[in-house]
Structure formats: structure tokens, C-alpha cells
Amino acid sequence: MPSFASELRRQLAAGSPSGGTLPKVELAGLVDAAGLEDGTGVTLRNPSAAVARSAVRLWRSEFGLEPRLFPSGQDTFSRTRYAVRVEGNRAVQAVEELRAERERCRRYAGGPLAYLRGAFQGAGSVTRPGRGHHLEFVHADEVFIRRVAGLSPAPLKVTRRRGRWVAYTKSADGVTTLLARMGLHEAVLEYEARAILGEAKANANRTTNFDAANAARTATAAARQQEALASLDPETLPSALREMLILRLDHPDASLVELAHIGGFTKSAANHRLRRLAALSRNQ
């Protein structure tokens, strides 16, 4: 079963546009995230077949190049990695053009987000809804990570972890904002649905715990009242209090309203008599 992040990369790759300026900006983000340049061209490596096919399509549509797509070993999770290779003078020139587009991306409406879409396909990851909120970009190049953080519409913290640089957010709002702005609206809906479900469960648990605590306190108070009242001698009490004492001892679980109904007097009278009985038991 593919990871949640893999599915999002597939969705981004499937939605990669053609024509205009933004496809080049997106390809620039992907090359920066997953590309390895040498003197004769550049090779992109990625575990997603969809991302690899998207890279082939973008090289063709934007620069007229004919990339080679081939398997390139396995990653640490034993998943097949794919390589997309372009080479030759035109490929070297294309890489230079992508650098220029990257530097100009802030001038274009949607330019920063197009770059982030490419960067996420090459170096991004996010936790599955229901397992917390954590979205990150991981790369060996600090400059790339700080560029991603600078272009993000949601604040990203930058740190170094196990020899690599990371730009990340653990904020629910940060994760959903970034996913929404990259066009991953279904993922945002899934996060929000999980959040609503989680809040409903939390409220239900709080209500259950509150009711259980109330019931425990009521039971404890009733037991103490029974113990105190049982120490009184009915024969020494006025008739009204004697009647109330017998009612309470005979109906230990009855509420004040129920006791008043059984005795045929008001709730206020029942409360007043119980208070007097409690006072007498304390003064013994």
C-alpha cells in the first residue's frame, strides 16, 4: 500500500500543467529537489513512477528534449526508484534556464507555489491524516531548504537532522494551508474530517469522564450521608425529622425531588429537613 505522501506526489504529478511559465518553475523545483547535475546533463531520481513520467513530459513539452526513463535500484524501503536522464548541450542550457526561472518565480502569479509543487514531488513528505500533523522537506542542501521555507505560504521551521536539512511544520493550520495552496484539496478535506472526528471523540470522552466523576461524587456523598443519618435515634427526633430520616434511610438512592414526592412535601422542605438531620448527626 503506497504511503500517503506517495499518493500526494502522484496527484501533484498528474496535475502538472503544460505551457506558459509555471511548468518550468515546477520542473525547476523538482530538479533542485531530486536532480543531480554533471557536465553533460542532469539525472532525476524518484521512487514515484508518476513523478518520473511527469518529468519526462515536462522535459519534452518545455524544452523539446527526449529523456531516458529507466529503473535505478531501490530505496531504503525496497521500493523501485526511477531515473530520468537528459543530456547534451540543449539539456545543459535547459538547466540554466530553469535556474533563471527559479530566481524569477516570485514575479509570476502562482510562481512560488509551482516551485513548491515540484520541490514536494522531489523532497517532500507528510503524515497520514489521523496520525498528527507533520509536513516536511528534507535535503542535503541548506540553500534549497531555506529557499523552500522562504517561498512557503505557511511558516516552516528549518533545522539540521542526521546530516540533512529539514524545513517543516507540525501545525495543523500550516499543513492544511500548504497542501491547499499546492492544489491538494482532497487531502485537506481528509485532514479536516479527521480533525472533526477527533474533536467529537474527545468531547464524548470528556462528557463521559465528567458524568462518571459526578456519579462517583454523588455515590460517595450519599454513602457518607447514610452513615451519618444511621447514627441518629428516630425516637429522639420531632415527627417531621423522624419521617425524613426514615424516608432517606429507606430510599438511599432517591434524589431530593423524589424524596419530596414520596413524602408529599416540597423540595425545599425536604432539603431543609435533611440539613437539620445532618447538623444533628455532626453534633452528637
pTM of the model: 0.68
For residue 209, is pLDDT > 80? Answer: no
Establish if 71 belongs to a structural domain.
Answer: yes
Which range has highest mean pLDDT (143-157, 202-216, 252-266)? Answer: 143-157
- The domain tally of the chain equals 2
Nearest residue to 32 via CA among 155, 181, 113, 145: 145
DSSP at 116 = H
184/169 Cα distance (integer angstroms): 17
Which residue blocks in 136-266 are alpha helix, DSSP H? Answer: 142-151, 172-181, 185-230, 239-250, 256-263
Q: What is the pLDDT of residue 163?
A: 94
Burial of residue 107, with CB atoms counted within 10 A of its CB: 0-12 exposed, 13-18 middle, 19 or more buried: exposed
My answer on whether 171 and 81 are in the same domain is: yes
182/115 Cα distance (integer angstroms): 10
Q: What is the pLDDT of residue 258?
A: 83
Q: What is the pLDDT of residue 233?
A: 78
Where among 196, 219, 252 does a domain terminate? 196
Cα atoms in the 13 Å half-sphere on the side-chain side of 262: 18
Instruction: Identify the residue whose cell numbers are 539540521.
Output: 160
Establish if 205 belongs to a structural domain.
Answer: no
DSSP at 153 = S
Give pLDDT tens digits for 126-137.
988 888 889 999
Establish if 27 belongs to a structural domain.
Answer: yes
Q: What is the pLDDT of residue 140?
A: 96
Instruction: Identify the residue whose cell numbers are 511558516.
Output: 155
Greater confidence (245 vs 57) lies with: 57
Q: What is the pLDDT of residue 272?
A: 82
Establish if 14 belongs to a structural domain.
Answer: yes
Per-residue confidence at 72, pLDDT binned at 50, 70, 90? confident
Range of the domain at 146: 4-196
Three cell numbers, residue 280: 444533628
pLDDT average, residue stretch 100-124: 94
Three cell numbers, residue 232: 441518629
Establish if 114 belongs to a structural domain.
Answer: yes
Give pLDDT tens digits for 20-34.
669 999 999 999 999
Instruction: Give the range among 53-67, 93-107, 179-193 with minimum mean pLDDT.
Output: 179-193
My answer on whether 132 and 261 are in the same domain is: no
Nearest residue to 67 via CA among 105, 26, 13, 27: 27
Greater confidence (199 vs 122) lies with: 122
Q: What amino acid is encoded at 189 in this protein?
A: L
Instruction: Give the range among 46-55, 145-154, 200-209 with minimum mean pLDDT.
Output: 200-209
